[in-house]
Amino acid sequence: MEADIASQAVGLGTNTDFSLLSLFLRADIVVKSVIIILILCSIYSWAVIIEKFRLFKKINKSSEEFEEKFWNSKSAENFYNSLPTKVEDPMALVFQSAMEGLLKKKSKTNLSERMTAMLETGVEKQMTKIDKGFTFLATVGSTAPFIGLFGTVWGIMNSFQSIAISRNTSLAIVAPGIAEALFATALGLLAAIPAVVAYNKFNTDSQKYSQKLENFSKKFLTII
Under 8 Å between Cβ of 18 and 172: no
pLDDT more than 90, % of the chain: 46
- Residues with Cβ within 8 Å of 5's Cβ and at least 6 positions away in sequence, in order, are 158, 161, 162, 165
* 169 pLDDT tier (thresholds 50, 70, 90): low
Is residue 104 packed enough to be buried (19+ CB in 10 Å), middle (13-18) or exposed (0-12)?
Answer: exposed
Q: What gap in Å lies between CA 19 and CA 12, rounded to an integer?
A: 14
Which is nearest to 181 in space by CA: 204, 158, 205?
A: 158
pTM as predicted: 0.79
Pairwise pLDDT comparison (55 vs 35), residue with the higher score: 55
Q: 106 — phi, psi (to 5°)? A: -80, -30
**How many Å apart are CA 203 and CA 184, to the nearest integer?**
28
pLDDT tens figures, 66-84: 999 988 888 888 888 888 8
pLDDT classification of 10: cutoffs 50, 70, 90: very low
Residue 12's pLDDT is what? 43
What is the rounded CA–CA span in Å between residue 205 and residue 184? 32
- Give Cβ neighbours of residue 15 (< 8 Å, ≥ 6 apart): 22, 26, 176
Answer whether 31's CB lies under 8 Å from 57's CB: no
Judge contact between 98 and 81, C-beta under 8 A.
no
pLDDT at res. 86: 86
Q: In the predicted model, is pLDDT for residue 7 greater than 90? A: no
Average pLDDT in the 177-204 region? 90
Residue 4 has pLDDT above 80, yes or no: no
Q: What is the pLDDT of residue 102?
A: 80
91-123 per-position pLDDT tens digit: 999 999 888 888 776 666 677 788 888 899 999
Mean pLDDT of 145-151: 92
Please name the residues in contact with 2: beta carbons below 8 A apart, sequence gap of 6 or more: 161, 165
